[in-house]
Structure 1
Amino acid sequence: MIFNKIEKRAEITLQQFLEERITDKDGDIDKSKALGIPSVSACVNLIANIVGSLKVKLYKETKGKTEEIIDYRTLLLNKRTGDTLNPTEFKKAMVIDYLLDKGGYAFINGNKSLNYVDCINISILKGIDPILKDFDISVNGQRYLPFQFLRLLRNTKDGSSGIGIVQESNEALSVAYRIQEFEKRQIKAGGNKSGFLKSKSKLSPDGLSDLRTRWKTLYNAGETNMMILNDGIDFVGVQATSVELQMNETKTINNAEICKLMEVPTGIFEGNITEEEFNSFIKTRIIPILIAFESCLNEGLLTEVEKEALITEHTNYYWQFETSELLKGSLVERYQAYQIAVLSGFMTKNEVRNKENLEDIEGLDIVTMNLADVIFDVKTKTYFTPNMNATNSLGSDKGIEPNPIKEKGDDTK
């Protein structure tokens, strides 16, 4: 007689474990379970830590001139939120919910505080019109209007909630999570080989109960146990499947796929990433999140007067993260580009300063030119040679005509 259900925990194979789905709820994973996967946690925390460490500033741009504005809003975002979370923790929490769940939400409590709200407590009450979209936000049964919340949303289609990576790639994350759970189950079983017992004769109820108790004790982790089988009872081991034999390889592939899913280079955790790869990671992964965060702040923290100032006063108010320390390598490249633009007369030095959100300096609204250059006016079809102070018409068969130089004391116009 074969007792093939004496200890299910010991006999189940990885392939069976992966295919096992008792209910839909057990098959899917949520944000908490996803963060229990080491590669997911590492990628998400890396991204959130980078964004959380950056300061965000408010700027006012008028007629090409930019100045920084410091008020209670910059204080809430960079010094103290007025909530139990500090600004770094606040930004991290918002980004984690943005990446994994339906979005990062924070209640705007006037000029007093910015209060992060876990999206698990957020319910969206949507209107029925698909064109003139409208919604309210409910927290613990209390109804709020959209402008009372900051909403950092990923892949949103209605501005109320987004689609996180957990929902978007639930199957891929489920496989990684279930492999991890299988390993945990094997460890709990003490690492003993899976199998079943085969008896030549039928056991009595008391004998069967005693065998089950001793079998369970054998598979307790953390203890050195031994079991003696009675005559006529044999242990038959279960042959490892190809999936189990390739578990380490499967885990490596899954980790690489999760990093690809998170758009994080695997070399960043191994310490062999190049500067070019790191800058590419910043530009393709971090910068889009910063832009989404800035849009969220522009929508939620700018006053209506500031939003309309672009039309009424030609003044642009906007939020921007300070990324100079983050992009040191790119900073050199950017400054070299500015140097070329200034030397070629393409930009003034104050225009360069405005690009970097710096205030103008009097006297730097100039374009430098080389005296050896010849300037051509496309409208008048004439050349001007600065070092000779002379002009010549295009196609003229005459020589260069020097410009009359006004002598000192000469009043001739």
Structure 2
Amino acid sequence: MGFFRRAIEKRSNEVVDINSQEFLKILGIDANSISDDKLKESTYFTCMRIMTDSISKLPLKLYRETDNGTEKASSHALYKLLKLRPNQYMSSSDFWKMVEFQRLHNGHSVVYIDYVTRGRNAGKIKGLYPLNMDNVRIWIDDAGIIGKDNAIYYVYKDKKGNEYKLKHSEVLHFKGLTSDGITGMSVREYLVTTIENAQAGQKYVNNYFKGGLFAKGLLQYTGDISPENMKKMQGRFESMANGIKNAGKILPVPLGFSFNSISNSMADSQFLELNQFSIQNITSAFGVKMHQVNMLERATHNNIEHQMKEFYIDTLQSILTMYEQELNYKLLLSKELENGYFFRFNVDSILRSDIKTRYEAYRIGIQSGFLSINESRNLENLPSVDEGDTLICNGNMIPVKMAGNQYNNASEGGGTDD
């Protein structure tokens, strides 16, 4: 992909600070309606980290349904591409972190599919490149001016001003909450007011401590004082009272002056209640559970595992399904879909129970005859053993239709001994 490769090569020679806006733009991040420091709001940043980390740590694999069950399609070219390195610049983990970040922060994420255009391997997928959403516009041909088959186009503009029109079949389009099925709603647009309130609370606390816990108030003086002397006295009084170094010290007040506080305390301002309300609004918008942002009032050792399963069912499952459906439709050929190929994220790391519960489940599965020893060992990343593929079961179990036959056999063979 020429235009993406040129953009990356040009950026590679630039040196920028990690906290600068230029660095965020390289990653495809722009606060837009949120001010420059909105990303530094702790709850918003924490929720973004939780969501991106949750998606990026799940291995994406290509499977195939056969008459003997589902098996990994490890010999397929797309298996290694999606599992290890979608493009030469990103690992699979980095790729999904960026895709999920842009999907949440911008409302949708667009990934260019780089095909081989010439030679014997024409049509083969070489790589997948996430595009900077600041430079992507979506055209919808509702009037059918261009054609009915390609009603949606994605226009990408590089740093030189060159524009590239991409068909919907040439990109992967991952959306957030959407009302029309084409464009997504950004989480930050929904939360802009809540995040500003949370930031205002953080600034209030910062200023409160920077001021040495010293409240604002009125400095009263009996008599007349010139504006110049008023400024001098104000500066002198603040230097004696403000700052961490003056916290807890006795404040000397010159003769003739008195100080009266006019600011509310944190308790009077209901700061803690308002701060918790903002946290709840932000986490609920992301679908993040409260215990994941260290709000552990209602969390216990016994219910955190269930809450993690709820996080998967309520939040991640819909997102992963959206990813899988888009990958299946855009990356796999019709013939491959007919032959049973499909992409799926491995969610065992989220749903994985404690070792005692897992081993008990394996025991039941093996003794019931539907799970082999090697299948159980493979789930624990243990090597297979000889004759471990043989299905075994408890010998006391018999088919339902044979229940009671043992008593009939006993009566038929019974009798008195002569």
TM-score range, shorter chain: 0.5 to 0.7
Report if aligned partners of 1:106, 1:114 keep a CA contact under 8 Å in 2. Answer: yes
Aligned residue number for residue 53 of structure 1? 57
Task: Find the counterpart in structure 1 of residue 185 from structure 2.
Answer: 163
Letter in 2 for 1:102: G
Alignment length (residue pairs): 336
1:195 aligned onto 2:217? yes
Q: For residues 116-159 of structure 1, give each alpha carbon's deviation from its aligned partner in whole angstroms, at most 9, with x where no partner exists.
A: 33433433233344999933223334433333332221122444
- Within a 5 Å distance, the mapping from 1:11-410 to structure 2 comes to 30=34, 33-61=37-65, 65-70=69-74, 71-110=76-115, 111-129=125-143, 134-140=151-157, 141-214=163-236, 217=239, 221-224=243-246, 232-240=256-264, 244-268=268-292, 269=294, 270=296, 272-274=300-302, 275-303=305-333, 305-306=335-336, 309-310=337-338, 315-329=339-353, 373-374=400-401
How far apart are 1:87 and its partner, in Å? Answer: 1.3
TM-score (norm 1): 0.64
Contact 2:150/2:168 (<8 A) preserved: no
Aligned mates of 1:189, 1:164 — CA distance in 2: 37
Cα shift at 1:252:
3.3
Query: 1:165: how far off?
Result: 2.2
Q: Distance in 2 between matches of 1:247 and 1:29?
A: 25
Q: CA deviation at 1:321?
A: 0.9
Deviates further, 108-117 or 62-71: 62-71
Alpha-carbon distance, 1:318 to partner? 1.5
Aligned residue identity for 2:318: P
Q: 1:150-184 deviations in whole A, cap 9, x for unaligned?
A: 22211224444311322233333332222122222
**TM-score, structure 2 normalization:** 0.64
Q: Do 1:81 and 1:115's aligned partners in 2 also have CA atoms closer than 8 Å?
A: yes
Cα distance in 2 for residues equivalent to 1:253 and 1:44? 18
Cα 1:297/1:201, change in 2 over 3 Å: farther
State the distance in 1 between where 2:52 and 2:40 align. 16
Aligned letter for 2:46? A
Q: Which runs of 5+ in 2 are unaligned?
A: 1-31, 116-124, 158-162, 380-387, 392-396, 408-418
Tell me, in whole angstroms, the C-alpha distance in 2 between the residues paired with 1:53 and 1:339: 30
Deviates further, 142-151 or 331-340: 331-340
Find the aligned partners of 1:151 and 1:199 in 2 and give their Cα distance. 67
Name the % identity.
18
Return closer, same or farther for 1:224/1:287 CA change in 2, 3 Å cut-off: same
SS at match of 2:340: strand
Q: Select between 266-275 and 84-93 the one with higher mean Cα deviation.
A: 266-275
1:47 Cα offset (Å): 2.8
3-state SS in 2 of match to 1:120: helix
CA contact (8 A) 2:107 2:184 kept: yes
How far has the Cα of 1:266 moved from its partner?
2.6
- C-alpha displacement at 1:291, in angstroms? 1.3
| More moved, 226-235 vs 182-191 | 226-235
Cα deviation for residue 193 of structure 1 reads 0.8
User: Which digits, 9 at most, give the CA deviation of each residue in 1:178-229, with x for residues without a partner?
Assistant: 2122222333434321123344444323223323543564576455499876
Question: Could you say which structure has the larger radius of gyration?
Answer: 1
Deviations 1:232-291 (A, max 9, x none): 543331141687442223323433443334333333445845322322222222222221
